[in-house]
Structures are given as structure tokens and as C-alpha cells.
Amino acid sequence: MGRIVTLTANTTIDQTLVIPRYASGTTIRAKRSVVSIGGKPTDVSYILGEMGVGSLALGFAADTAGLRAKQILESRSVEVDFIEVDGETRMNVLIADEGSGTQTTITTDTLIVSEAHVTALDARLDRALNDAACVMLGGTLPSTLSPSLYTRWIGLIRARGVPVLFDADQPNLAAGLEARPDFIKPNRDELSRLIGRPISGLADVYSAARDLVTRFGTTVVATLGAGGALAVHRDGAWFVPPLDVPVVSAGGAGDGVMAGLTESIWRGEPLEMGLRRGFAYAAAVVQQAGTAQLERREAERLLPLVQIEPYPAV
């Protein structure tokens, strides 16, 4: 059995502030403040580490925040092999508003990545592919890099016969799709931006996802927030109803889904089991204040509660 590899071009530290209600122009006292790892693939590595599954985390990082990101990952037994670049790893602020039930993210762009840095990461990725079971990559890119980098990276991974899981928003999602990743996980808004039109009900989600499966050969796992999720594969489709759990923060919930799918590929399990793992992990994540935080015991409790229903219903 090979190992799981994650690749994060834009590493992040998230500070989540849980507030009773936002009021512009006033001083707001946060009920809780949690500092955690951010960035989609690094979140996946962190969640897997919490669940007792090891991984290798590749990517770019810089300065004090980059060192903090490395330490957070290593605290969960993740092997970290970041390229040190210029600038600084991002510091995001997430505001979880209990009054409105909304979450707002304030982000920055502070990593400075050169062509020499990319070449160095290419070499580490090539070496990691020698014993990789699968690679999960995605998220934003530093402003100095082009979305076409995702096309190239995914193409390199697929050329080595290694399954690829990809999670990004536009324009990176369209660029990555050109290289035909095995899995993508857009939420409703990301799927809408990708196809260039609003998406209404579940049938519309299915139609858009089925078109992507036909065009790119990818499996689409469309997450719909409180509406559950729809997974569309070349051989079928499945609806995943949401679990009824208290939501504290949605930060990292989608990364919980990707962590479960990634783990199941590593274990050689069928897609249905990957969906069960993913949505159990996501439901455990939303109960915690910090990004991608979860309690292993709660995730394991939720696992048998996740339902997978054929779509359309028969």
C-alpha cells in the first residue's frame, strides 16, 4: 500500500472568531478564538492525521506562519516537506456569526513563489509519486502563479498512474479539469461559477455534474450545504442526505469530505464507503469552531449514520 500525498500551493493559518452577532462600527467580543491549519489539502492531511491515517504534505510555505503550519501538521503525525519561499504563509480570519448563522472569511495573498520554487516542488512531487497511493491537491494559488500549473501538475500525476482528487474554485477548477482528475468536489456556488449559470434544484445539479463526467471522465461530488450532496460517477449517482448535527463553523467541512474520499482510495474501498467516511468527517468538523477540527470519536460515531441513496430514486 502506497501513501497519501497532499499538495498545497497556498498554505494558510486560519483564526476563527465565534461571535454572538455582527454589528458594524462596534466593538464585538468574540466568544471563542481558535487558530488552526487552513488550505484545502493541508486540511485533508490534518483531518486524516486526527483519524490515525498518515500522509505526506507538500507545498509552499514562508516565514513564521509557515513554520506554525508545519508544526500544526506535525502535531498530527503528518510528514511535511514544504518548499520555503518568499513572503509569508497566509493568515485568514474567519468570522462565525451565531446570530445570522453565516460565516465570513477575510483572506490575504502574501506568498511570493518564483519559477525556481515551482521547479523545486516539481522535483519533490515527482519523487513522492514513486510510492503514492493517491494525491489530493487544490485550493487557491499565490498571485505569481498561473492556473495552468494545476493542468500540468494533474497531468504529471495521472501520467504516473496515480489517482488524483482535486478541489478548487474558478479559474483553477476549469484549468485542473482539463487534465481530467479522478475526483472533483465543487460546492453549489463553485459548480455554478464553473458552468457559467445559476444552479437551482437537485436535478439541475445532477445535469451539470453528469455533463462534467461525460466531458472529463471525472467523478463529481457536489456538496450542497444543508441540502446534503450529490455524487455523480460514470456508472451511477448517489444522494447523501445531511446529518442532523449542531453547526458551529463550516470551515473545513468540504475538506472533511475530501479526507474521507482520499482515505477510501488509499484503503481500496468503493466510492460509497468514501462518501460515508467523507460526510461523517464533515459532520464532525462543523461541530468545532476551528477550520478542519474534529473529534475522532464523534466522526466514528457518525460513520454508520450516513445514508447513501441511489439518484434518481428507484
| Phi and psi at residue 273, to the nearest 5° | -70, -35
Q: Which candidate, 87, 110, 82, places its Cα nearest to that of 7? A: 82
Q: Which candidate, 129, 11, 113, 22, places its Cα nearest to that of 59? A: 11
Task: Specify the pLDDT at position 250.
Answer: 85
SS3 164: strand
Task: Specify the pLDDT at position 109.
Answer: 87
d(CA 162, CA 157): 6
Q: Kindly calculate the radius of gyration of the chain based on its CA atoms and give it in whole angstroms.
A: 18
Q: Model-level pTM?
A: 0.95
Contacts 24+ apart (CB under 8 A), 26-30: none
Q: What's the sign of the alpha-carbon dihedral 228, 196, 172, 64?
A: negative
d(CA 207, CA 211): 6
Which tens digit of pLDDT belongs to each residue from 114-150? Answer: 999 999 999 999 999 999 999 999 999 999 999 999 9
Contacts of 225 (CB under 8 A, 6+ apart): 187, 188, 242, 250
Domain containing 290: what range? Answer: 3-22+30-310
Q: In the chain, where does DSSP find H-type helix?
A: 40-50, 63-74, 115-128, 148-159, 172-177, 188-195, 202-216, 253-267, 271-285, 296-302
Task: Specify the pLDDT at position 313.
Answer: 64
Tell me how many domains the chain contains.
1
For the beta carbon of residue 238, count every other beta carbon within 10 angstroms: 18
pLDDT < 50 regions, the chain: none
CATH number of the domain bearing residue 38: 3.40.1190.20
Which tens digit of pLDDT belongs to each residue from 2-28? Answer: 999 999 999 999 998 999 998 889 999
> Can you tell me which residue has the cell 482539463?
178
